[in-house]
Amino acid sequence: MSTDGERFTYGRTSVYNLNYHIIWCTKYRRKVLANGVDDDLKAILRAIAVEHGYRIPHVEVGLDDHVHLFVSAPPKLSVSSIVKQLKGTSSLRLFAMHPELKSTYRKRKGERSLWSPSYFVESIGAVNEQAVARYVDSQRVKERERS
């Protein structure tokens, strides 16, 4: 894959510009994405994207309890599979890196989940791509000013 000024991506059989704004929250809106967990989360999410063949050019944590992502993905990947990869793998990796999170979330039925089961997604067209990128980048500052 190659990119043309980051606007278009050229694959073997397609040229595309598919971008999504994705948001999800921690379970029970607990404010656990602070004190280094947020920085580790950002690195983990970007690593997962690289492993699966898409990009996350912008990611930010808001109010320590939710995450905003700007994701650019090929047409062969569905949004639901992207979110499943990101939420599932990041939860496992964060629990491994930050064992203190385990005490915040009880283990139920053999599984422990950091994330709420729901998420928000909207597709981003070329016209408002930069506006959404600015919005995602400004979340941490904007939401701290409000609280």
Query: CA-CA distance, 40 to 129, in Å (whole number)?
Result: 26
112 burial via Cβ count (<10 Å: 0-12, 13-18, 19+): middle
Q: Is 54 a catalytic residue?
A: no
Cβ(69)–Cβ(58) under 8 Å?
A: yes
Tell me which of 16, 28, 119, 135 is the catalytic residue: 135
Cβ(81)–Cβ(99) under 8 Å?
A: no
Query: CA-CA distance, 35 to 47, in Å (whole number)?
Result: 20
Active site members: 135
